[in-house]
Structure 1
């Protein structure tokens, strides 16, 4: 019996470059399984595909080992934030307030 296949995409944006890989995987493949099948780690050697945060279409998936993919899903591999967004806004507001005082 021929196993049904589906197409998914895996994307990652490092600081210096971006990569989108199309992968054919069997139906019933988990998110983590598709990540490993994408060979994304070969293009980004420092990326730990077993521990990195991931999501589908902008929504983080908390259990990628169990999440079963649907045809057409786009897996997004996230990188750590360089700065806390709340702290950046706070610093920007303080700078703007200081500028208004002058």
Structure 2
């Protein structure tokens, strides 16, 4: 008896567009396999799974995480600026209170 497939989504958000694809994959498929099957790496060549973080519904996960029915795999963009450094710059520009 063959195992049933599960439905998952793979998504990646860019500043001006979004990649979102639903897939039917075999039970036991990992995040890395689903991303490869989705066509994301061909559609957006700059993505490198050894650098870009991935997750499921906003929680970071390793590439070998096994997917479950209705999981949404998210491939995150690299940060353009360090959030702590950006906050320091904003604070330096504000006038002192007092």
TM-score by length of 1: 0.85
Number of aligned positions between the proteins: 98
Aligned CA RMSD, in angstroms, stands at 1.8
**Are residues 72 and 80 of structure 1, via their aligned partners in 2, closer, same or farther at CA, if it must alter by over 3 Å?**
same
Match of 1:64 in 2: 63
| Residues 1-102 of structure 1 mapped to structure 2, 5 A cutoff | 1-49=1-49, 51-61=51-61, 63-65=62-64, 67-97=65-95
**Equivalent position SS for 1:88:** helix
Q: Which runs of 5+ in 1 are unaligned?
A: none
**Equivalent position SS for 1:97:** coil
Q: Report how far residue 51 of structure 1 moved.
A: 4.4
Q: Which runs of 5+ in 2 are unaligned?
A: none
Q: Report how far residue 50 of structure 1 moved.
A: 5.2
Task: Pick the structure with more helix per residue.
Answer: 1
